Chains A and B, each alone.
Chain A
Amino acid sequence: MKKKVVPYLLVSPYIIHFLIFIAFPVIFSIVLTFHKWNIISPMEYTGFANYIRLFQDTLFLKSIINTLIFLVIHIPLQIIVALFLAEVLNQKIFLRGFFRAAFFLPVVVSGVVVTILWQQLYGFDTGLLNKILVTLGFGKVGWLIDPKIAMPSIAIMATWKNVGLYIVLFLVGLQTVPKHYYEAADLEGATHWQKFFKITLPMINPTIFLVVILSTVGGFSLFIEPYILTGGGPLNSTLSAVLYIYKQAFFYYHMGYSATLGLFFALIILSVVIIQKKFIEREV
C-alpha cells in the first residue's frame, strides 16, 4: 500500500503546480479570448470580436514584423560573431580563460543593466559610438531615434549581451571535431579558411542549429530592451510583440484582447519552432 502512494506524493507538487499555473491558465486564456474584460467590471461575452479585431490590427501586425526583423538581424549576426571568436579562442592562446570569461560577462548581467548602458553608448550627441564616428570623420547615426535604425540597434545590443553563451557552445562543438581531419588537410596544403569551410563548418552544423533554435525562442520574448530604450518608438519601429501584448493588458486593461494576442502569437512561435525542427531533422 505504502509503496503505491509514495510516488504520487512525490509528484503531487508538480501536478498541483501544473494544474494551477499551466493547465488552468491555458484553458482560461482561450475562454478570455471570447470576452471583453478590464478586470474590475464583470466579463462580457463578445464572441469572435477579439479575433476580428486582431486580424484588422495593423499595429499588432507591425509588432510581429518588428520582432521578425529583430530575429533576422540578431540570429545571423550572433552566429557569425560567436563562431569567429570561438574559432580564434580554439587556438593555443595565452590567457584563454580570461578572454572567455570577459566575453561571457554580459550573459550573466541583468538585461536591465545592459540596456541602461547601451542607452548611453547609443546617445545621439554624447554617446560614445557617435563620438567615435565623428572622430573618424563620419556623420552621427540616430541609433535610437531613426525608425529605420532603432531595431537593428537593439539587435546589435542583444548580440553583445548573448554572444558569450554561444561562443562557449561553439567551443564545445569545435572540440568534438577530430584532430586528424585537420592533420590530413594540412598534408594536402589546405589554407586556414579552406579548413574552416570544408571541415569545421559541416562538423559543427548541429551546434549552429541548436543556436538558431535557442535564439529564436529567446528573440520572440523581446521585451525589456525596447521597454527601457525606446518604449517601442520611434514611430512604433521597436514595438515588439510581447511589448504590445503587455501594453494592451497593463496600459489599457484590455485583458480579453491581450489574451487573444498572446494566444495567437504563441501559435506563431510554436509553428516557427516546429518548422525549424523539421528542417533541422532533415539536414542533420
Chain B
Amino acid sequence: MKKAIFYLVLVFGALMFLYPFLWMITASLVPESDISSFSIIPSTISFNSYTQMFDKIPIGRALLNSILVASSVTAGVLVFGSMVGYALSRLEFKGRNLIFYVIIFTMTLPFQITLIPQYIIMVKLGWIDTYLALIVPYLMNALSIIMFRQYFKSIPQDLIDAARIDGCTELGIIFRILWPNAIPALVTVGIITFMASWNEVLWPLIVIRDEELMTMPQLVTLFVLGGRAESQLGVKLASATILALPIVLAYLFFQKYFIQSMASTGIKE
C-alpha cells in the first residue's frame, strides 16, 4: 500500500517534469493551427515550423558558434586549470598560498561587480562582436583550479618523481602522467564547463550584436522576444527544441556523468 503511494507520487512527478518537453516537441511538429495546449500526440506531422525558422534566423550558424565557443572554453579551462592546479598542489614557490587565497576569494565575488567594467574592457579591446569576447573571459575558472588541485594531491608522488628521472618536462608531467590518472576530474570539470558555456546568455546579450556571431541561447532569446517569430507559437517552440536538443542528447548518453559531476560541485548553470 505504502509502495503504491510512492509509485503514484513518482509517476506524477516524472510526468510533471517530462510532459512540458514532450508537449514542446509535439507542438513544434504539427501545423500551427493544430497546436493544442495539452496534447502530446501529433495529429499530423509537419516540418513547416522548422523550415520557417531556418528561413528567418541563422540557427545552423548559431549551432556552430555555440559548439566553437563551448569547446574552446572547455579546452582552455581544462588546460589552464590543470596547469595552475598542478603548480598549487605539487610545486613549492613563493606566493603559492597567496595565489590560493586569491582564487578562493574570487569565488565569493558576485559577478554583478565586474559585469559593467568587463563590458567596457571588451569595448576598449575592440572585442565587441568577436568570438574573443565570448571565449577569453571564460578561459580561467576558479572552481576548476580548486578541483584539479584537490585531485592532483591524491596522485602518488612516486609517479611524478619517476617521470622527472626519465627527463619529463613539467608540462609533460601534467598532460602525459597526471591527465591519464585524473579522468574523473577531467570529466567533471569538462561537463560543468561545457554546460555552463553552452547555456550562458547574459554575457552574449551584452557583447554580441551581430547575428552571425550569436550563440544559440542568445539567438533564440532575441528571436522569441523580437517580432520576427510573428507570434507564431510553432516557430518559437521549434527554435526552443533545437536549442535544447544537443544538450539533451548528450545528457541521454552520459546521464550518469552529468548527474555525478553536477552533484559533486553543486553547480547549476
Using a CB–CB distance below 8 Å, which chain A residues touch chain B?
Answer: 4, 6-8, 10-11, 13-15, 17-18, 20-22, 24-26, 28-29, 32, 39, 85, 88-89, 91, 93-94, 98-113, 116-118, 120-121, 123, 126-128, 131, 160, 162, 164-165, 168-169, 172, 192, 210, 214, 217-218, 220-221, 223-224, 227-228, 241-242, 245-246, 249-250, 255, 258-259, 262-263, 265-266, 269-270, 273
Residues of A within 8 A of B21 (CB): 105, 109, 117
Indicate if the CB atoms of A165 and B268 lie closer than 8 Å. yes
CB distance from A98 to the nearest CB of B (A): 8
1/0 contact string of B226-269 vs chain A (CB within 8 Å) = 00000001001100100110011001000100110011001011
Residues of B within 8 A of A11 (CB): 83-84, 87-88, 99
Are A13 and B269 also in contact (CB < 8 A) when A4-B93, A116-B237 are?
no
B114 partner, pick from A22, A106, A217, beta carbons under 8 A: A22
Is B80 located at the chain interface by the 8 A CB criterion?
A: yes
From B42-50, B54-62, B101-109, B177-185, the one touching the partner chain is: B101-109
Are A18 and B248 also in contact (CB < 8 A) when A108-B195, A116-B236 are?
no
A104 partner, pick from B96, B216, B258, beta carbons under 8 A: B258
Residues of B within 8 A of A246 (CB): 202, 206
Is B86 located at the chain interface by the 8 A CB criterion?
A: yes
Residues of B within 8 A of A250 (CB): 205-206
Chain A residues touching B, majority SS: helix
CB distance from A25 to the nearest CB of B (A): 4
Indicate if the CB atoms of B262 and A168 lie closer than 8 Å. yes
Indicate if the CB atoms of B20 and A110 lie closer than 8 Å. no
Indicate if the CB atoms of A25 and B263 lie closer than 8 Å. no
Residue of B nearest to A20 (CB): B121
B116 partner, pick from A94, A241, A259, beta carbons under 8 A: A259
Indicate if the CB atoms of A108 and B140 lie closer than 8 Å. no
Is B1 located at the chain interface by the 8 A CB criterion?
A: no
Are A116 and B121 also in contact (CB < 8 A) when A29-B114, A258-B116, A262-B115 are?
no
Residues of A within 8 A of B17 (CB): 102-103, 105-106, 160, 164
Question: How far apart are the CA atoms of A269 and B216 in the complex, in Å?
Answer: 30
Interface residues of B in 184-226 (CB under 8 A from A): 195, 198-199, 201-202, 205-206, 216-217, 220-221, 224-225
Residue of B nearest to A106 (CB): B17
B112 partner, pick from A18, A131, A266, beta carbons under 8 A: A266
Residues of A within 8 A of B93 (CB): 4, 7-8
Is B32 located at the chain interface by the 8 A CB criterion?
A: no
1/0 contact string of B1-32 vs chain A (CB within 8 Å) = 01100110110011011101101100100000
Is B156 located at the chain interface by the 8 A CB criterion?
A: no
